[in-house]
Amino acid sequence: MNQFDDIADMTALRLKIDEVDGQLISLLAQRRELIDRAAQIKAREGLPARIDWRVEEVVENARRNARAAGLDPDLIGPIWRALVEAAIAQEDSHLKGNVDDRDAD
């Protein structure tokens, strides 16, 4: 038995999926704020947006966490790689001065 076995019909299930999706969006918004802060720190320290070893570390962390949660790491790996590539583009935009830096030091 899993935690959702008490959901009796598709309407209730869809509502729960929508709720979880909202939580995921909220977490992605928090991650975006962290990436904005990373860009500020990288600008100050003269670091590039892309740090290859860190990209691989983040993806491997996601794969390991997926495996621990019972998810397929081969599914999560590419999703996380796409997430990281989007974050790099976001940082790069900041570093090139293409984003309003509201929270600069």
Helix (H) or strand (E) holding 101: none
Q: What is the mean pLDDT of residues 59-86?
A: 98
- Which residue did the predictor score with more confidence, 98 or 58? 58
pTM: 0.82
Which segments of 46-104 does DSSP mark as H helices, in order? 52-68, 73-95
CA distance 67 to 38: 27
Q: Is the pLDDT of residue 105 over 70?
A: no
Q: What is the mean pLDDT of residues 86-98?
A: 93
Residue-wise pLDDT for 13-68, tens only, equals 999 999 999 999 999 999 999 999 999 999 999 999 999 999 999 999 999 999 99
Within 10 A of 71 (CB to CB), how many other CB atoms are there? 13
CA distances from 16 to 2, 3, 24 (A): 14, 12, 12
Question: What pLDDT, on a 0 to 100 scale, did the predictor assign at position 98?
Answer: 77
